[in-house]
Amino acid sequence: MTMEDNVTNIQDTFRYELLRKLAKGGMGLVYEACQHGAQDFKKTVAIKLIRNEFADQPEFLSNFIGEAKLVANLIHTNIVQTYHLGESQGACYIAMEFIRGMNLAQLLKLIKSNERSLPPELAVFIASRVARGLAYAHQKTDGEGRPLHIVHRDVSLNNVMVAYEGDVKLTDFGIAKAAGYLVHREGEVAAGKADFMSPEQASFERTDPRSDLFSTGIVLVCLLLGRNPFTGASPSDSRRNILKMPIPDFRCESNIVTGDLNDILQRLLQRDVEKRYPTAEALLHDLEYHIYRHGYGPTNETLGKFVRSLAGEIPDTKQHESL
C-alpha cells in the first residue's frame, strides 16, 4: 500500500511511556518519556503535565494550552522545541524536546559542590545564547506577518537548560505574554520569580521585551558571581531589592568582571527601560564582541566539555508508566 499524491490527512496515535520525573514546579510536572511509534520507532521526549490540583482551574488550563500553541512555531536552536499538544484521560500534556543536561541552577550547584568556578567567557557565552533565543522570540510574527509581541517574563536560572553537548536552550514560556495566546493579567499580579524580575514586573507594571533583558542581566550576574545579589529573605524582599538596591560596580564584587563586562551589566540592569539595551539583538552584539573580539572564543563544544567534566556519569533512564 502506498500513499498517493492527493492524500491530505494522516491519522495516527502516539503513546508515551513516562520514565522519570525531571522537575516539579509550582503548577506543573515534567517527565522524561519515550515516544512509541510504528515499526518499533522510539524517541526520547519531555512531557509537561498540569499538576492535579490545578488541572480544573480554567485560567491555568487556558494558559497551558496557550503556551503550547505559542511555542509550537518557535523553532530556534536556543529555544526548547514543542512537538505536540495532546490529551489523555481528560488531561492535557505537552510533548517537548528532551534536553540531556541540566538547568543553570543545577549547574551552579554542581560547580559549587566541585569547588570550581565557571570561566567568565563561558558565563558570557551562555548569556549570549539566551539573548539569541530572546531576539528570535521577540521578533516572531504570526502567519499573517503580524508581530506576536512575545515577552517571556520568566527568564531565570531554572528556565535556561544546558545540554551535555553544550547547547543552551531557553524553556518554559508558561507565563509569557503574547498577542492572542495567553492570559497575562499585568497590573494585577506579579508574574515570574521574584529574584529575577525586572523592575516593571516587581512594581506590577506593563512589560515589553526589555523586561526580559533585565532578567538576563541577573542571570549573567549569577553566573559570574555564583550568587544572586537581589535575593532577599522573602519574595517581597527580593522585589524590594530589584526596585531599590543600589546596583553595584561588579568589578568590586569579583576580579573576573572586566570594565567592559561591567558596562554591559550596568546597561542591562538599568531600572529606566529607556536606558537599558533596546533589543536582545543589541545585547547579543555586545556579548559576542566581548568574547570574540580577539579571535577564537567559547563554543558549544567548550561549554559541553566543561559541563561533562562536572557531571561525570550521565544518568540512565528507568521505565515507569505509560501515557
Alpha carbon distance 265, 34 (integer Å): 41
The letter for the amino acid at 179 is A
Alpha carbon distance 129, 160 (integer Å): 10
Catalytic residue chosen out of the listed positions 12, 154, 208, 212:
154
Q: What cell numbers appear for 44 in the block?
A: 526520547
Contacts of residue 14, Cβ cutoff 8 Å, sequence gap at least 6:
35, 36, 37, 84, 86, 95
User: Is residue 316 annotated as part of the catalytic site, yes or no?
Assistant: no
Taking the CA atoms of residue 276, residue 282, residue 286 and residue 287 in that order, the dihedral angle to the nearest 10 degrees is 90
Closest CA to 16 of 42, 51, 55: 42
What DSSP state is assigned to residue 79?
A: B
Q: How many residues does the chain have?
A: 323
- The set of catalytic residues is 154
